[in-house]
A and B are shown apart, each in its own frame.
Chain A
Amino acid sequence: MLPDGLEPDSLVQLLSTDYIFAVSFVILIIVLLFRPTGLFKGKSV
């Protein structure tokens, strides 16, 4: 897809695969910080 010069010579891996849990928790924390009642504006107690 990319032009010749920019194409990586192997698979592009952004993070080590062992970070699956960390990434999901990061998503959770970011959502909690910016949308404390969930992405769809859930009910706040």
Chain B
Amino acid sequence: MSTSARDIGLFALVAGLIVLTGVMQSWNAALTIMNMGLISAIMALGVNLQWGFAGLFNVGVMGFVAIGGLATVLIAMPPVEGAFAAGGLRVLTALLLGAATIIAAVVVQSQLAGKAKALATIVILVAGFFIFRTVLDPGVAAIEAINPALEGNLGGLGLPVLMAWPVGGLLAAGVAWVIGKTALGLRSDYLAIATLGIAEIIIAVMKNEDWLARGVKNVVGLPRPVPYEIGLQNDPGFVERATGLGLDPVTASTLYVKTQYGLLFALVLVILLLGAQLALKSPWGRMMRAIRDNEVAAEAMGKDVKRRHLQIFILGSAICGIAGAMMTTLDGQLTPGTYQPLRFTFLVWVMVIVGGSGNNFGAVLGGFLIWFLWVQVEPIGLFLIETATSGLAADSALKLHLLDSAAHMRLLTMGLILLLVLRFSPRGLIPER
């Protein structure tokens, strides 16, 4: 079997699994898996850009995904009435002052030397911190006092939610620039620890800065780019068409909305996949892989390794940011408490490794396959255990224990799949070529 036939077979297999979900469970479940699969595929594309093309070990994917989600709130939510007048200016001034403090400290670091440098840095940072807090705190208190049960934050700009996707990418790119400038000089394993830490810091800030996006109180009811189900159900034209197709209008409306989301996501995925594929085949992509395979040799050939690393770090992170904005749009809410490294960093890494790092189609396949398994392993595990223990008495302690533990199949299976793929196809299901 030629390689491309095998690839097509693998994609057909995953499509078959999703269709099977539609037939066996419900088409709503299948579409939900497909939509999140599309988003996961985009995240995997971003990680594949960093790891597969350039060999950058970024385990801070979660942070960029969360920043994309934040962008959705900042762009799409309507502004909170009176919040900006109450404290918006103070907060913005405080943020500028904070940035100025850090810039001053950096300038001092580069200009002075010896004891004067250390002393000046400490004085600037401590004084800057207290000035920052003095300016910030009253503003934050004023903003958070406005209708705290529902708002208590600055709100957004009230722009169309689709604009949040590119903006999420830009915001993530900006953060990636700051991180890359400081941390990319580290050795690869230290870069991993630094990105992991920075992602945790981003989440901690999003959880605690209530004036920004309500923190752990969550922002709900984000505007949607597609119609609401209830609107469709009240639309006589839609109901007529649904009954004409032999569908219940309620089911038809949910399927319609999910399909619309799916089409939007698929469009983004196709554009990004095309771009990534063209980049991989271009001289730029070959240069990236040359840098990945031998940094010293590439540098000796006159390639600016640091600059290229920064470039691809920003590009990959921007893609993760776009995916994060899309996910928050799909969910309709921003819940900073749900950003877990296991789900948003390591699962994406499993997708890239299982799919095949260095191959864009591999990353996309891994995104769909791993997401499908992540969702479906729990019900399948429960079903297996129920079947296996069906001979035991209903109150048997062993049976109850096994049924209780079945839900933990998920993580076990993810590890098992990773190990099996690494054993039998070490370079992933669709290896780099």
A residues neighboring B (CB under 8 Å):
14, 16, 18-19, 21-22, 25-26, 28-29, 32-33, 36, 45
Contact = CB atoms under 8 A, between A and B. Distances in A.
B15 interface: no
A18 B194 contact: no
B198 A29 contact: yes
Contact of B201 (A14, A16, A26, A36): A26
A22 B201 contact: yes
B204 interface: yes
B255 interface: no
Contact of A28 (B182, B193, B204): B193
Contact of B200 (A16, A22, A36, A45): A22
Contacts of A16: 208
B186 A28 contact: no
Interface size range of chain B in the complex: 10 to 19
Interface string B191-205: 001101110110011
B182 A25 contact: no
Given A29-B198, A36-B186, A18 B204 contact: yes
B203 to A, nearest CB: 9
Contact of B204 (A14, A22, A33, A36): A22
Contacts of B193: 28, 32
A32 B194 contact: yes
B194 A19 contact: no
A25 B196 CA distance: 9
Contacts of A45: 187
B196 to A, nearest CB: 8
Per DSSP, are chain B's interface residues mostly helix, strand or loop, or mixed? helix
B31 interface: no
Contacts of A29: 182-183, 194, 197-198
Interface string B109-150: 000000000000000000001000100000000000000000
Contact of A22 (B183, B190, B196, B205): B205
B197 A19 contact: no
B207 interface: yes
A20 to B, nearest CB: 9
B208 A18 contact: yes
Given A26-B197, A26-B201, A36-B187, 19 more contacts: A14-B133, A18-B204, A18-B207, A21-B201, A22-B204, A22-B205, A25-B196, A25-B197, A25-B200, A25-B201, A28-B193, A29-B182, A29-B183, A29-B198, A32-B190, A33-B183, A33-B186, A36-B190, A45-B187
Interface-centre pick from A14, A28, A32, A45 (highest chain B CB count, 10 A): A32
A28 B194 CA distance: 8
B187 A19 contact: no
B198 A19 contact: no
A32 B133 CA distance: 26
A29 B196 CA distance: 10
Nearest to A18: B208
B183 A21 contact: no
A21 B63 CA distance: 14
Given A19-B204, A19-B208, A25 B190 contact: no
A32 B186 contact: yes
Nearest to B191: A32
Contacts of B208: 16, 18-19
Given A19-B204, A19-B208, A22-B205, A28 B183 contact: no
Contacts of B205: 22
B430 to A, nearest CB: 33
A14 B194 CA distance: 24
A41 B190 CA distance: 15
Contacts of A36: 186-187, 190
Interface string B179-190: 000110011001
A16 B182 CA distance: 26
A21 B200 contact: yes
A5 B363 CA distance: 63
20 contacts: A18-B207, A18-B208, A19-B208, A22-B201, A22-B204, A22-B205, A25-B197, A25-B200, A25-B201, A26-B201, A28-B193, A28-B194, A28-B197, A29-B182, A29-B197, A29-B198, A32-B193, A33-B182, A33-B183, A36-B187
A28 B193 CA distance: 9
